[in-house]
Structures are given as structure tokens and as C-alpha cells.
Structure 1
């Protein structure tokens, strides 16, 4: 393989990822016509069509898809190794991209990496908050942070946070004017604030456990959010009961703005983990990020 063919393969990879000559040209810092000519020339050389194009859309052909599946991991490995070489200096450098839920980013990720960035100013960190289960491979993230139960088995996962639990809370004014709540079954007679899951579009089912028995309750009420923080605020204002992370509600519980109910029915579960694909070699900057998060988890355990 000569150097020109390697360049053609790199150009095809970018075009296949973007499915647009215009966007590919921006990434390759060249013109749209130059990218188009490169692909057409390479298709002639191979004797097969790699892309199917119309005036409105672009897609890879079967041959193009096979080539893409071969090139993607090979170029990712090359990029990772080049990044490691470029960062082999006294101070690690480079960009680390991590996706996380907002709760994980605010409570776990940012407190750890903010200290890391002060110590290693050449490291750049991109944190993307998304409540959905982002595909870190296709979206080109170095890692994701999610609850342990939501991580695919083919990923390497490192625990970075304490056990968590969801609790039922309501404002004192709401609880004073409504019937007592002794078991989750009593929730059917209450105004409950629902949260819609961005991953599936379904309403979140409130999960309980007591004396070896699991109980899932589908609640109903006047409000539905796709943001748990808003659900918690609505509970503070007396609109009903909310099912929220215990740590996120601590300040309002201590201030008396919220009261917890059904404490014995709310179990702990595995907390946040950082995860990444096993086949990709990670940079020193990424390794330091994981170590900072691991140390943060240890401080939670000690406390």
C-alpha cells in the first residue's frame, strides 16, 4: 500500500462517518470537490462502488460498509497510539470526552476532574450531560458514566461512587392534608410526580424492596417531567410526592422543605461507574481521569 492509498482510505472513513462531502471536507480541511474526486478515484481503482449518492442523501454500499467496518477499529487504534506518543512528556495532555447523566456529572464527575485540571492544565475535558444511554463508541466518547446496572457487559467498568438509593419525598404541607403513607400501595391514592425516561419514553416505575420482596408501582398524578430536579422542586412546592435521589434531596430534607416517607421500602443499589470499550488503548490523560474518579470513590467509602 502506498501513501496515496492510505490517504484515500482516511478520506473514505471520514465521508462514511459524516455521510456528507461538505462535512467531511470541513474535518479534512480541504474542499468538497477535492473529497468527492478522491472518493470517485478510489472507487475506480477498486472497481466497486463504496457510496450510493443522490441529490438529497448519501449511504454506504454493501462493499463500502464492509470497508468501513475494517477501517474504523484500525484507524481508532492508530489514533489512540499516536495520542499516547504525543502525550509522552512530563505533563500529560490531550482531550478526554465523557458522557454522563446530569446527576452523575454534578455529583461525581465534575468534583473529581475539576481538581485534576488544576494539577494538569494541559488536559482538556469535555463533559456531555445526557439522560439517555449514549452509545459512546458511535458518538466517539472516550468513556461514559452511568449506574452499574445500565452498563453493557462488553465494557470495562470502574466504580467511582457510593451506593445510591431513590426515596419518596413530599412537602410537609402536602403530607399534612393527605392520608398517611404506610406502604407503596398507598401511593395510588396520592398525587405523584412522574418522570419520563429519555431512553425509552416510558414513565419511570417506582421501585421498592422490603423483607426480601420487590414491588414496582406505576404512579399517577398531575405532573410529568423529563427532569428529576424539576420533579423534586414540584414536590417542595406541594404539588405531590416525588421519587428522587436521596443525595440530591439532602439539603431540602435538612431544611425541612421535604419529608421522606417509606424509608424501609427504599433499598440501596450500585452507584456510578465509568466505563469504556476494552479494545481501545487509553491515553495517559484518560488514565489520570479514571484514577481521579477512583480516588473520589474511595473518599466516599472512607467517609
Structure 2
């Protein structure tokens, strides 16, 4: 394969993944006309149409999808081999891309990454903070972060944080007016602040457990929000009962701004794990990140 052909394949991959010549050109640092010309030459050489172009979008054809299936693992392998060359350097280097939720990023990832970047100045970390669950292989992330109970079976998973607990909370004034729920079923009589799940689009069903008995409760209320900080603010303002990770209310519970209820129904569960494809050989930079994030503490609360 000639060098310019490899470049054309890399350009095709960028266009197919971005679904846009404009975004792909910006990502590659090329002009749109140069990128479009390169794609036409590649299609002419193969004798196949690889991309379907409309005024609003670009999408791979069936031939383009087949080429993508070949290109992605091949280019990933090239990336790994190139990254492995950093072992010959005195200091490890490279970029590690991780997709994660906001809570995991702040509670678990950032403290470790803050120390790691100071100790390894040639390692670059890119955190993609997104409430949705992304396909790390298709979107070319080195790893993702999820709760232990939601991990995919074909991934290697490493615990990076302690066990977690949920907390149902509300403002003292709210409970003075509406009373305190004693079981999850009592929530049907309360104004609850719902969380809209960005990944699935549906409302989060509050999950409770006590003595091995699990309950999933669909709650009702005036507010539906998709940001946990806003949910906490609404609870403090007395707008209803909120249900989030307990550490997100730590300061407010300590100050008395919020009161916890249903505590005996909130048992600990497996915390955050870093996961990555089992078939991918980790780069030296990724191995250092993995070691920095690996959780070595106790089993957690409870």
C-alpha cells in the first residue's frame, strides 16, 4: 500500500465517524475541498461508492460500512504499536481517552488524574464527560467508566472506587409539611424529583434494597430534570424528595440543609469500574493510568 493510500483511508474513517466533511476536515486540519477530492480519488480507485452525500449529512454506503469494519481494528492495532514505541523513551508518553459520567469524573477520576499528570508530564488525558453510555470501540476511546452492575461481558473491568450508596433526601421544611416516608411505597404520596436518563431517554426508576429484597419504584412529581446538580438544588429549595448518590449530598446533610429518609432501604452496591476491550493491547501510557486509578481500599460503606 502506498503512503498516500493509507492517508486516504484515514481520511475516510474520519468522514465516516464524524458524518460530516466539515467536522472531519477540522479534525484532520485539512480544507474541505482537499478532503472531498481525496475521497473521490479513493472511490475511483476502488470502483465503489463509499459515502452517500446529501446537503445535510454524509453516511457510509454498504461498501463503506464493510471498509470501516476492516479499518477500525487495523488502525487501532497501528495506534497500539506506535504507542508501544514510547517504552523506548525515558518517560512514558501518549494520549489516553476515557468516557465517563460527571459523578465518576469528579468523585473518582479527577483526584487520581491530578496526581498522575503532575508525575508524568508527557501523558495526556482526555476525559469525555457524558451521561450517556457510549460505545468505546466505535468511538475510539481507550476506556470507559461504569458501575460494576452495568458492565459488558466482553470487557476487562478494574474497580476504581469504593462501593456506593444512594440517598433519598429532602429539606426539613418539606418533611414538616408533608410527613416522612417510612417505606419506598410511601413515595407515591410525595412530590419526588425525577431524573431523566440521557442515554435511554426514560425516567430513572428509584432502586431500593433491604435484606435481599429489591424494589424499583416509579415516582411522580412536579419536576423532571436531567442534571444532578439541579436536582440537589431543587431538594434544598424544598421542591420535593431527591434520590442520588449519597456523597452528592454530603455537605448539605452535614449542615442540616437536607434530611435523609429511607436510609435502611439504601444498601451498598458495586462502585465504579474502568473497562476496556479484552482484545486490545494496552499502551504503556494506559497501563500507568490504569495503575493510578485501580482501587486498593476497603470494600466501602456498609
Could you tell me which residue of structure 2 aligns to residue 80 of structure 1? 80
Q: Tell me if 1:158 matches 2:178.
A: no
In the alignment, structure 1 residue 171 sits paired with structure 2 residue 164: no
Structure 1 unaligned runs (5+)? Answer: none
Deviates more, 1:3-12 or 1:94-103: 3-12
* 8 Å CA contact retained: 1:87, 1:94: no
Which moves more between the two structures, 76-85 or 1-10?
1-10
* TM-fit CA distance, 1:87: 5.4
Q: Distance in 2 between matches of 1:73 and 1:281?
A: 12
Structure 2 counterparts to residues 217-228 of structure 1, below 5 A: 217-228=217-228
Q: Which residue of the partner structure matches residue 122 of structure 1?
A: 122
Per the alignment, residue 260 of structure 2 pairs with 260
Query: Aligned-pair distance for 1:29?
Result: 4.1
* Inter-partner Cα distance in structure 1 for 2:244 and 2:54: 49
Is contact 1:192–1:242 with CA below 8 Å preserved after alignment? Answer: yes
Q: 1:78 to 1:256 in 2, by over 3 A?
A: same
Deviation at 1:195, TM superposition (A): 1.2
CA RMSD of aligned residues (A): 2.2
Please tell me whether the aligned partners of residues 43 and 49 of structure 1 are also in contact (alpha carbons under 8 angstroms): yes
State the Cα distance separating 1:301 from its structure 2 match: 4.6
Does structure 1 residue 244 correspond to structure 2 residue 244?
yes
| 2:34 matches 1:34 | yes
The 5 A counterparts of 1:7-26 are 7-26=7-26
Query: What TM-score comes out, normalization by structure 2 length?
Result: 0.90
TM-score (norm 1): 0.90
Offset from partner CA, 1:240-260 (integer Å, 9 cap, x none): 211121122222212222221
CA 1:6–1:189 in structure 2 vs 1: closer, same or farther (change >3 Å)? Answer: closer
Q: After superposition, what is the alpha-carbon deviation per residue over 1:227-248, rounded to whole angstroms, capped at 9, x for unaligned?
A: 1222122222222211121122
Q: What's the counterpart of residue 43 of structure 1?
A: 43
Q: Distance in 1 between matches of 2:291 and 2:235?
A: 37
Number of residues paired by the alignment? 301
Deviates more, 1:31-40 or 1:261-270: 31-40
Task: Please give the secondary structure, in 2, of the residue aligned with 1:275.
Answer: strand
Look up the SS of the partner of 1:146 in the other structure.
strand
Distance 1:8 1:121, change over 3 A: closer
